[in-house]
Structure 1
């Protein structure tokens, strides 16, 4: 258990210090985390609505922060190029995220072109049914993407790393609220880059 928790702490620390320097990115992660918590609660009420919240709000804000605001130049503090950080990324690096987001974007288009997905599902009868079909597909992609990378890590690294990464992803919304709840305030003060990541790991 100690080894598992240490692996989890390392994954969280590496993710923060490598990929969360920009305060806008941090603020967007706060929005993402809060909406993910709403989506988690909604899982108990309606998983399809939960998936719609998670993808339309949580994932959009989260990935926008990474794609558009996070610096991709040489990281002098961590002495690493962006390419090196992408190579050693345990979870979904930007390329893998692009593949995942492409699948996400393709779902609504596919359901418009073929409401029954080539005879595999009952076709929707109205826009509400369309939205629920999209949400159900997005729920499948979200769970599938999590499980696929977890099992993949079992083989390319080890079972502990895979399980620790899965735990990190599931608990990220709680951790991000703790880490980034002051990001909007820092932005209002004109601070664009977080100076805290210059510190040593606690």
Structure 2
């Protein structure tokens, strides 16, 4: 966070996503790192390194409060906050332009509104990166995505995953402007549904 302009941009991005963070600070501290020693019954056999002090960096976020503010160590932030901060750094840093980012369950720990907003960011014309995302949130299928941007993962009888795109399905309704992918998916039009034996799950409880 050494660049003031980038830091301001980063903080504005966080506030726009409704995170109550007004500052981010990196603090240095020296900690003692013991050397690596191997011994047998108290007899020193090998010493690879001497004890040494190393510098570690702690990240603190400053949150606005009703009266003043307070700091939180990054490790104590929620999973969603930490994930969004990492994404913000990647999205906003120019050195990351024109790269591919794969994120499994990208919306995990995010509210639906934030996940939808991130999709808008990922697909914006000013965003030069390519994002490959997985999710189980069906509602996101209906959020301003093209047919070729939505893919389904389905396991065959051998447990192998097969991919298919909505674009591959021959359905006259796909050309309608009010087409709802989620509704059609729940109707089984695109496959890729998990077959759960509800009664068998309950039967196991009684065993």
Q: TM-score, normalised by structure 1?
A: 0.20
**Which structure would you say has the larger Rg?**
2
Q: Which has the bigger relative contact order, CA under 8 A and spacing at least 6?
A: 1
Which structure has greater helix proportion? 1
Which structure has greater strand proportion? 2
Q: TM-score, normalised by structure 2?
A: 0.20
